[in-house]
Every structure is written in C-alpha cells, then in structure tokens.
Structure 1
Amino acid sequence: MTTAATTEVMTQEQAAWFAETFNRIVGNVAHAVLGKENVVRLVVTTLLSGGHLLLEDYPGTGKTQLARALGQTLQATSSRIQFTPDLLPSDVTGVSIFDPKAQTFEFHEGPIFANVVLADEINRASPKTQSALLEVMEEGRVTVDGAPHGVGKPFIVLATQNPIEQAGTYRLPEAQLDRFLMKTSIGYPDQAATVQILHGSAQRDRAGALEPVITGQAVSDMVTLADSVHVDPAVLEYVSTIVGETRRAPGVLVGVSVRGALGLIRAAKTWAAAHGRNYVVPDDIKGLAEPVLAHRFVLEAEAEFEGASAADALASVLSDVAPPTMRSGGR
C-alpha cells in the first residue's frame, strides 16, 4: 500500500494498514521488553507523533533494552549517552575540529546523531548540557559555529531519571519537562514475565536478536499519515476545556500549556490510527491524558506537602469535564 504524504483525511484502508504496522512494531519490541506491551505502545505512539519520552524509573527495569529494541525494529541507528556532572554540551552534540591539511574546521557528530537516542539519567548533567539536548529535541538540528546540522528522521529521545537517587542531580525545570510529549515508567515485570525472563537468562541481549520490521522512511510516512486523522471540533473543545480547568484546579500553581494541548491532540491522532480508526474519540483523549499532561503540572508547595499529586489533580479535572457525545463515525 502507498503511504505517501497526503493533506486529505486518512482513509479507512490507510487506518487499517497503520494499525497493522503499529502492532507489528509493538510486537517486535515487546520480544525484548517482556510483559510491558502498554509501555511499548506509548513509546511507539510518541515516536509516530514526532515527540520524545521521559522515563522515570528504577535501575534494571529494561530502559536500555527498550531503546535498543526500538532502534533494531526500525532498522535505524541508536545511541546511548550516559549523563554525568562533567558531561559537556559538545559531548552530546559534537564538535568542530581544525584540519591543518585542509585549513578548515571539520564537524564531528556527537551521539545525538542517531534515530533513537537513550539519554540515561538526564538529571545528573548540568543545566547547560540538559539545555543542549533539549534544544536538539525541539529544533531537530545542531548548530555549531553558525552551521546547522540536521539529526535526521525519524528521531526520538528516550530520557531517563532515577526517582530514588537525588544527590548530585539537577532537577529538570518545568519549561524543559514541557518539551517531552510523554512521561511514563516501565516498572518491574509481573510474576509471569519475570519467570519468562529468568527462563531465558542465557540470552543476554534480547534486543540485539531482533529483526527489523520497518524502514525509517516508512516511519516518516506513518508520522505524516497520523497527522491526517480527523479530529471533530467537539473533541478540540473537550481538550481546550480540560487544559483550561487544569489551570484553575485546586492546589495547582501552573496548569497545562498550549504546547501540552497540541501534544495531546497529536498523540490522540496516532493512538486512534493505531486502533484502526481515522478519527479521534474522547476515550483516546482520556486514555492518553496522564502520560501526556501530568508531568506539565506545577503543584503548590502546600498541596505537595499534603501528599497531592499531579495525577490526582488531573483525574479530578477529567471527572469534572464531561466528554462530548460523538456521532456515528466520530463526526
């Protein structure tokens, strides 16, 4: 089937192809990250929505395997950057080195020049280095000595944070958190998945054994195709109302930005197509609200002290805002 870019609304045939391909990507990655299909679906949704993902999780939960498995599945390049306090911006983006023979500066690419980048423990690097990474995430290119260098497509950053070791870390400012389309965690596998992992202990690198199921160009086509999913004006009003209510919710100092609302719509389009639909329904919005919106909240200090959480505040907003009643076909 042809997946060329289109400005028209996605057809049902295209939606069926999208869903089938989406499930093949998820299924392949899930061979390396056992028992975490829902997390994998969120990662693939982030990729096909043109966004980036923040994973806040404990050590040893499979974050590196997830990033490498995604790279293998996409027939794409992947890299891992271990963030440390002494990491410099040029260690991420690259540097220009003078060539005495040619009498010119030659740019040497940093590890950010990969399709799938694992930024491990991003909060251990200095704010300056964090900003260098986040700038590339936003712009899709590196500018060194006035010359732009595109990082290519597809491009996704999976950044991680360790929630239990805060000594010597630099908390990501709210404005930088807002640049991640989603935030989630992998978590420990359940009993059945743990037994399966232990049973296959001789296979040390599950991700390396995966075969690619899609090309980078096909991924770019899927990103374009997801943009053509129909969103009813009533759903847009629903998202706008939710975002507005987050700014007025009790105990919330700063609610969701317009960037967050746009991110939710983009993710909902991809999520709808992944379920074989060429239109968004309110349940798509509700299902993605927490991973897309919760990390963008800033709670009042008193509310945090009393044990309030962004997830609770968002859940309260969602329960108070009535979803629209969709007509047949989502339109």
Structure 2
Amino acid sequence: PMERPFMIVATQNPIEQEGTYRLPEAQLDRFFFKIDVGYPTLEEEVTILQRAASDADALSTGATEAVLDPEELERARSLVRQVRCEERLLRYIAGIVDRTRHDGSLMLGASPRASLAILMGSKARAALEGRDFVTPEDVQAVVPPVLRHRVQLTPEREMEGLTPDQVIALLVKQVEVPR
C-alpha cells in the first residue's frame, strides 16, 4: 500500500494531442479538479525570465522543494473537514449536479463523485477564506473546475462553439441559490 497522503497531479497539453488517447469518462471522473492555467501575464513571464537568467537550474525539472510536510497537510485536511456545510447548501450542490443529468446540451452528466468534489472544494475554499462554514459563493467558485472534465457536450452544442464552462454557467443559473 502507498503511504498516506497519496496524491497525483497530472498535466494535459490542450494543443498537441496527436498520438495520445482520451481518458475514459470513468477515469476522468476520478480527477478532483481540472484547472485551466492559460498563459502567464506579461509580468509573470518577465518573472520567469528573470529567474531563468539568474539561475541556470531554475527551469530544470529535477529537484523540487517541499512547501509543506505530510503532518502539515494532514492538519490542513483536518481543518477542511471541520468546515460546516448546511443542508440547504448540500441540496444546492446536489441540485447543480442533478441538473447536468437532465440537460439537453449534455450527453453525459456528472456522477455523485462530482457532488463530493464540489462539497470538499467548497469546504477547502471556505477554510482558505478563514471561515468555518460554506457559502453559496464557495460552491459557485468550485463548480467549473469540478465539472468541466466530467460533463460531455452534445455534438450539436460543440458545433455551435459552446464550451463546457459556458454550459455549466447556464446550468448553475437555473438552480435556485439558497438563502
């Protein structure tokens, strides 16, 4: 067995996918978030260049530096577990995910694993914001990275140029925000 915590961070090049195979939906569902990083800003790119210019090893993929140890990570996870999420927000999360299963724009809706990821992501966001409770804004903030790789647009929607994020935004608007 692997030592806990065991996590994997995976990357995907959205441009060049020739010679690679798409992951099956069941495997995609096991990824917590899909975060689109995009290009760095001009200032971020200058910082990258400055680091590379001053340190020849700055761009090497060899040595990495730990930012926290396993005990610190476990304390953070424990803190997140203590964040409260009221039933009205649990119903909100379930309502958003359920909506993905009944929308004509989607061939594939999200599984209960998505609901769990929204819950845990919302709790983590609340903890990062210094709160011990989840708000609707926490839920809304994590819905796109949780769902964008778990839903599958119909070919018609894809041909219209819609993206998963656009459809997700429309679905979220259709679910009443709890007060």
Taking structure 2 as the reference length, the TM-score comes to 0.89
Q: CA deviation at 1:211?
A: 6.0
Q: Confirm whether residue 202 of structure 1 aligns to residue 54 of structure 2.
A: yes
Displacement over 4 Å in runs of 4+: 206-213
Larger Rg: 1
Residue in structure 2 matched with residue 177 of structure 1 by the alignment: 28
CA distances 1:263-308 after superposition (whole Å, capped 9, x unpaired): 1101111111111100100000001110011210011122222222
Deviations 1:142-190 (A, max 9, x none): xxxxxxxx22122221112222222211111111100000001322211
Distance (Å, rounded) in 2 between the aligned partners of 1:205 and 1:271: 34
Q: What does residue 265 of structure 1 align with?
A: 119
CA gap 1:204/1:187 in 2 versus in 1, 3 angstroms: farther
The answer to whether structure 1 residue 253 and structure 2 residue 142 are counterparts is no
1:294/1:314 contact within 8 Å kept: yes
| 1:157-172 to 2 correspondences below 5 Å | 157-172=8-23
Find the counterpart in structure 2 of residue 222 from structure 1: 76
Q: Does 1:155 align with 2:14?
A: no
Question: 1:230 & 1:215 partners in 2: Cα distance?
Answer: 26
Q: Deviations over 1:189-223 (max 9, x none)?
A: 11111122222322244488986553211212221
**Counterpart contact for 1:177–1:295, Cα < 8 Å:** yes
Stretches of structure 1 lacking an aligned partner (at least 5 in a row): 1-149, 326-331
- Amino acid of the residue matched to residue 32 of structure 2? L
The percent of aligned pairs where both chains have the same amino acid is 39
Q: 1:244 to 1:213 in 2, by over 3 A?
A: closer
Equivalent pair of 1:153/1:220 in contact (CA under 8 Å)? no
Verify the 8 A CA contact 1:249 1:313 in the aligned structure 2: no
For 2:18 and 2:160, locate their aligned partners in 1 and report how far apart those are by CA, in whole Å.
23
The separation in 2 between residues aligned to 1:206 and 1:223, in whole angstroms, is: 30
Structure with higher strand content: 1
Change (3 A) 1:211 1:302: closer
The separation in 2 between residues aligned to 1:227 and 1:284, in whole angstroms, is 15
| Partner-residue secondary structure (3-state), 1:253 | strand
Determine the C-alpha separation between the residues in 1 that align with 2:119 and 2:157: 29
Q: Which of these residues, 136, 160, 168, is aligned with residue 306 of structure 1?
A: 160
* Alpha-carbon distance in 2 for matches of 1:268, 1:151: 27
* Aligned-partner Cα distance in 2 for 1:299–1:213: 38
Normalised by the size of structure 1, how large is the TM-score? 0.50
SS of the residue corresponding to residue 166 of structure 2 reads helix
1:203 is matched by which residue type in structure 2? D
Unaligned runs of 5+ in 2: none
Q: Residue 97 of structure 2 is aligned with which of 243, 251, 254? A: 243
